[in-house]
Structure 1
């Protein structure tokens, strides 16, 4: 995964918000049940027989499919900063509930499941408002993307009561996970999609973050949104995925 530091307003504030989110954790996350929560091991759920099969094998890498700096109208897309990342690797994330591993990974800008390769970008509006949408792309061996989507769907239901994800330095405590529709963010051509929101508290303020995942053949795109300015301004936040970012990325995947 390419996660080099980029010195831009987006990367700097996104890193600051990530640091504050991490700092809100207790640092003592319950990891007693984290056996089997390593990279690619989230208690694989068999893909539903009604799940549409992959239409074609994806020949492009995640890096080739990623959005570039000026591909989204009125938005800037850059590489996220490595400063203050929640965890240096996916293996370092410990989950209080192993079944929640796909959600913990997705909300920490890591790919889900057994991938062939992955790539991460972060987007902001050019009329900057402190909000961010991260895009994590991953490619899979035939059949693995479908199994991964099944794992994520299972996790959204199983983790409704919340869970704790413990990183290298602190913990993120998610109080709830709720399934959402994806109607506000168009997903043309996707064979499967899911969306959910999660809530967490920081210094008494409630923050809602949102995640959406789509599958195109053997490629999965994960979109994660947070209101970065809410963390830096000590107020409640309501992250919303940028529809223009999803539309542009999905077009490249389609």
Structure 2
């Protein structure tokens, strides 16, 4: 990572603490009736509109009430590592899923994805990112398998680059998830060094049918202040979101 990373971490943290997410409302289907020319003609209701993958993810995203009242916010788009997987290059191709998971980018071949971030109890607490992704048949299972394979293949670390920044991870290791949930889970930790200070980052993914949730945590304030950090996804956030996927 470069000094640009530190600047982006500070600005992102400041931006996140300033905004609040508008509560998501449930989508309702429209109904209608046919013209009645006589008592003997039946009324035909209009077909119910299908919920799109993006709308479904919005309905599944965890709410502030479920995470202790903390804001569930849209991350600032001004200082993101990359806006799509096409903007990311990895020195070891097998490690690409890890780079995507740690930069809130969808894995595999998604139909839709949605990311929100939850701040901890204080402004210098780690941030927990939640990325929900919807897939077609078999897509979520394939994406989770690809992530698990990457964890096993990239123990020695890797470097990911975008037009905005560069991130080098010195090690990757599998670990136990916060809780076994859904139809499969994968969890890992990665270490990175910023200006000589080591930071440990944690991520985990949970698949429930054709939807996957990826959790990632980082302590941007610790990086800014050159303090070592070991940021784990908040269990309250992980457990609440997992419950909504069932």
Q: Which runs of at least 4 in structure 1 moved beyond 6 Å after TM superposition?
A: none
For residues 42-89 of structure 1, the C-alpha deviation after alignment (integer angstroms, 9 at most, x for no partner) is: xxxxxxxxxxxxxxxx97622221123333115321111112111122
CA distance in 2, matches of 1:147, 1:90: 17
The alignment's TM-score, normalised by the length of structure 2, stands at 0.76
Are 1:118 and 2:110 matched, yes or no?
A: no
Would the aligned equivalents of 1:63 and 1:118 in 2 still touch at CA under 8 Å? no
Higher helix share: 2
CA-based RMSD of the aligned residues comes to 2.1
Task: Please give the alpha-carbon distance, in whole angstroms, between the structure 2 residues aligned to 1:14 and 1:150.
Answer: 35
Query: What is the aligned partner in structure 2 of residue 35 from structure 1?
Result: none
Q: 2:152 aligns with which of 126, 148, 157?
A: 157
Q: Which has the larger radius of gyration?
A: 2
Tell whether the 8 Å contact from 1:15 to 1:84 is kept in structure 2 after alignment. Answer: no
After TM superposition, the structure 1 = structure 2 runs for residues 56-205 of structure 1, keeping only pairs within 5 Å, are 61-182=56-177, 185-188=178-181, 190-205=182-197
Give the secondary structure class of the aligned counterpart of 1:137. strand
Aligned residue for 1:112, secondary structure, equals coil
| Counterpart Cα distance in 1 of 2:160 and 2:80 | 13
Distance 1:121 1:193, change over 3 A: same
Stretches of structure 2 lacking an aligned partner (at least 5 in a row): 1-9, 17-51
Partner secondary structure for residue 75 of structure 1: coil
TM-score, normalized by length of structure 1? 0.74
Q: Which residue of 2 aligns with 1:209?
A: 201
Q: What does the per-residue CA deviation read over 1:136-192, in whole Å, with 9 as the maximum and x for residues that have no partner?
A: 00010011111111101100010111001001122100101010011xx2344x110
Larger RCO (alpha carbons 8 Å, 6+ apart): 1
